[in-house]
Amino acid sequence: MDNLTVVKIGGNVIDDPAALKRFLAAFAGLPGAKLLIHGGGKVATQMAEKLGIQTTMVEGRRITDQPMLDVVTMVYGGLVNKQIVAKLQALEVNAIGMTGADAGTVLARKRPVKDIDYGMVGDIEEVDSGQIQFFLRQALTPVFAPITYSLAGDLLNTNADTMASAIAVDMCRHNTVTLIYCFEKKGVLSDPSDENSVINVLTPEQYAENKAAGTINKGMIPKLDNAFKALDSGVSKVIICHADELAMAVQQGAGTTLKK
């Protein structure tokens, strides 16, 4: 099977033109087939504020009513996605910008209301990895915005970490997959106040202990939940690292590597 690197980029990197430029140069230099899933939450929050739309987050996840869905669709699927695609084209990467609705690649359903009504948020039901593999075989590099679709014809806001995990797992049908989460920290930290306190190897037991102690919290929890789920579902390697250390993480190790 061919090797495939699935990279998710988020955090402050999306908001910082210089940091994004460095990251995309490193991504462009990755050997072999690759695809990218991006977030863009802070850009969406800033746009919503300009439009007078309130942002509500619960455990790192955005509550998405219809006005907020319009914003995230415009920002994620439009502005951020096409800016990234254009920059990759300049780096001679033949990128194709997508949402999960395009070519029916990521089907979801609206999250049912339980304790919290998340609004127009999608829980992924199916990934068409065969269609994504078709794009890869055309020497294209898919760049996914975290928007999915439902059989009812609705667009749905979907957590980008979840989308990266789901795509990576289904792509295991065709490839040996490495999943890398990149953001503005050097990995999972044992001391949130110390940027150098990187946990080099993280097991489920260590994760549970750190979460109980409050060392791992907020947005890192859904990221790690999705990362361990991917590892349990066939992904060969999962790494969480600083965006500036992407190449190092692939070549010789950097950040936090997850182990079963």
Q: In the chain, what's the furthest Cα-to-Cα distance? A: 50
- The stretch 180-193 carries a mean pLDDT of 89
Residue 40 assigned to a binding site: yes
pLDDT given at position 10: 86
Residue 217 assigned to a binding site: no
How far apart CA 94 and CA 227 sit, in angstroms, is: 27
Give the domain extent around 132.
Answer: 2-258
- The stretch 142-169 carries a mean pLDDT of 96
CATH number at residue 234: 3.40.1160.10
Residue 41 assigned to a binding site: yes
What single DSSP character describes residue 2? E
Report residue 179: phi and psi, to 5°.
Answer: -110, 125
Instruction: Tell me the per-residue pLDDT of 64-113, one tens digit each, with 9 for 90 and over.
Output: 999 999 999 999 999 999 999 999 999 999 999 999 999 999 999 999 99
Q: Which stretches of the chain are DSSP H helices?
A: 17-28, 41-50, 66-72, 81-90, 129-137, 160-171, 204-213, 220-232, 246-251
The structure tokens listed for 47 are 């746009």
How many folded domains does the chain comprise? 1
CB 62 within 8 A of CB 223: no
Q: Which of 188, 193, 187, 105 is nearest to 149 (CA)?
A: 105
Residue 240 bridge partners (DSSP):
181, 256
Sheet holding 106-110, edge to edge: 122-127, 106-110, 147-149, 155-157
Q: How confident is the model at residue 37 (pLDDT cuts 50, 70, 90)?
A: very high
- The stretch 47-72 carries a mean pLDDT of 89
pLDDT given at position 164: 95
